[in-house]
Structures are given as structure tokens and as C-alpha cells.
Amino acid sequence: MSSLHVTVIGATGFTGRHIVIELLKRGHVVSGVCRNPEKIGRHERYHPIALNVLCTSVTELATIFARADVIINAYGVPLTETSTYKLGVESSYQVISAFKYAASLSTTHKPYLIALGNSGSLVVPGTDGIHAVDYEPFWVEFVRSAAQSRALIAFCKEKYPAMANMLDSYRKAVLAWKGPGANIEQLETMKSYEDKMTDLNYDFIRACTVCHLFYDGNESFDWTFISPPAMYGPGKRTGEYDVHLEHYLPLPEEEGDILPGISAPDLAIALADEAERKGMKWTHWTVTGSQSDDSVVSMYPKI
């Protein structure tokens, strides 16, 4: 296929980097939009565009978007900020407004918007439409699954230290409970961490879920919305993934298994495939991949 021009918002983030690397590997031209786009390194087909998506005018953003065939929004709310909910919603407002304006500038060139959500935006099967973010048993299941994965704990240490500390302590309590000399105190410790995890502030996850409603049923512009599964984190590039076209949270096949997930390089493959095919227009979907590799690998590769 001929090469595409793809604009990646949040190009230097955990998700954005893997997308940029995958797109460059396929011969596409990539514009990286964020405040410090050079952080990812240099490449002849990578064009850094330094801007703050929250304070740039919609018309200026639209001019940048209008040059691209595909825009991938991998913006991530800085979790050090206090108003993560506001920033999450505001960034989506900016991107969608600019995208719609960009699409209106030409009758022949129709850009395509790939938006990223998170597992909180997926609907829990069998619940009549409850999103995972609002479903306490999901968080308990997430704690149990994440505590079994060294890669996921390493990922959380980097991004959500409060959560990582709890996962670490939870993991130790589980191991002690399974070992010789198990006692009721360890069970109580496990339960208390499950409760604490469900009490953490998930405003940024809720913001993503709310932003999905800007898309849901809206056919006034060309978008697709992908929510990664719960166990999304660092891992190997296997090149294989399964697409789930419904907006449901993927659940384990066997009771007691960990929640499904995917590695960042495999998610990037799914996103690059979608950038090339544009086959999921107006769809909220997710992807799962292999979880056989649990090694702790670099989260922030360079180009």
C-alpha cells in the first residue's frame, strides 16, 4: 500500500511510542504531537510538532490534522495533575472539534480519527450495560490479575505508584496465604487491599468513559474507538491479536484465569492495521493478545 501520513497525539507516551514505531516500520510518515515530541528520538519520516493540545486553538489543531490521512489520539492525562477528569474531557473536546473542522476543509480529503479509551469504558457482559469503571467486582478481578503479573506491576510502578504499592503488598499476602503457615490475617490483608484498590481515584478512567459518549452513535464524523483490555501493558511483539467488535469487556475463558490483555507492541499493530484499513468506522472495539510473556521490558523505546 502507498504510505500514509499519520498524526499521533501523545507520540512520546507509553502507547504513543509503540504506535509511532510500528507506523515507521511500515514506511508511513508520522507527525508526533505533544509538548516534547523530540523525546522519542529522530527519524527521517518522523516530524515532531511541539504543542499543548489543551491550549492550542481548534483552528490551529485543525490545520495540522488536515494534512494527515489518519489521526490517532493517544493523549494520556498526566496523573500528577489534580484535575485529571477535566483534562481528559477537555482534550477530547479539543481533538474532536479540530478533527471535525479539519474534515470540513476539503471535499476530497477525508481524514480518519482513531480514538483510544481504556478498559473502564467497556461494558461488563451480563450487566445490562454497566461500564467496567462502575463495577466493583471488575476492580477486584483486576487486582487479582495484575498482582500475578510482574510486567503489569512494573508498568503500574512507572505510571500509577499508589496502585503499584498496593499490588505489591497484595501479591505478598497472596503468596503467604498459599505458602506454609497460612493464616486468616493474610486473607484479611488481601481483602483490605481489594477494598483499597476499589477506593482509588479513577477520575481519569471515568473521563475516558464519558468521552466515549461523544462518539457513541455519532455518525457526523469518521471515527473508530478502541478500548484496550484490562491487562494492557509492556510485553513482546508477537504480531497476533484477536479483535472483539462488541463493546464488551473480555473475560477469562476459565474461572480463576487472569483477565485478558495485550502487549503495547501488539496493540500498536492493531492500531496500525486499522489506520491502513479503516475497517471499524463508528465501532467501539477492543483487542486481546498473547499473555504468555511476563518479562519486564522497556516501556519507553525510542525510534
Ligand X SMILES: NC(=O)c1ccc[n+]([C@@H]2O[C@H](COP(=O)([O-])OP(=O)(O)OC[C@H]3O[C@@H](n4cnc5c(N)ncnc54)[C@H](OP(=O)(O)O)[C@@H]3O)[C@@H](O)[C@H]2O)c1
User: Using CB under 6 A as the criterion, which residues of the chain lie in contact with ligand X when the complex forms?
Assistant: 10-16, 34-36, 52-54, 74-76, 78, 116-119, 208, 228, 230, 232
Q: Which is nearer to ligand X, 111 or 234 (CB)?
A: 234
- Minimum distance from residue 176 beta carbon to ligand X (Å): 28
- Minimum distance from residue 24 beta carbon to ligand X (Å): 16
- Closest residue by Cα to residue 271 from 2, 62, 11: 11
CA distance linking residue 19 with residue 25, whole number of Å = 10
Q: Which is nearer to ligand X, 80 or 108 (CB)?
A: 80
3-state DSSP assignment of residue 109? coil
- Minimum distance from residue 74 beta carbon to ligand X (Å): 5
**Whats the size of the chain, residue-wise?**
303
Q: Which is nearer to ligand X, 190 or 287 (CB)?
A: 287
Q: Which is nearer to ligand X, 78 or 161 (CB)?
A: 78
Neighbours of 56 (CB within 10 A): 15
Q: Which is nearer to ligand X, 4 or 74 (CB)?
A: 74
C-alpha cell at 179: 505458602
Q: Which is nearer to ligand X, 194 or 203 (CB)?
A: 203
- Minimum distance from residue 187 beta carbon to ligand X (Å): 28
CA distance linking residue 136 with residue 157, whole number of Å = 22
Measured over the CA atoms of residue 78, residue 89, residue 59 and residue 228, the dihedral's sign is positive
CA distance linking residue 293 with residue 22, whole number of Å = 20
DSSP string, 67-88: T-SEEEE-----TTSS-HHHHH
Q: Which is nearer to ligand X, 173 or 229 (CB)?
A: 229
CA angle 233, 1, 46 (to 5 degrees): 55
Q: Which is nearer to ligand X, 4 or 9 (CB)?
A: 9
- Minimum distance from residue 276 beta carbon to ligand X (Å): 20
CA distance linking residue 206 with residue 88, whole number of Å = 9
C-alpha cell at 56: 492550542
C-alpha cell at 219: 455518525
- Minimum distance from residue 211 beta carbon to ligand X (Å): 9
- Minimum distance from residue 277 beta carbon to ligand X (Å): 21
Measured over the CA atoms of residue 250, residue 287, residue 122 and residue 151, the dihedral's sign is positive
- What percentage of the chain's residues is helix, strand, coil (to nearest 5)? 45, 15, 40
- Minimum distance from residue 20 beta carbon to ligand X (Å): 10
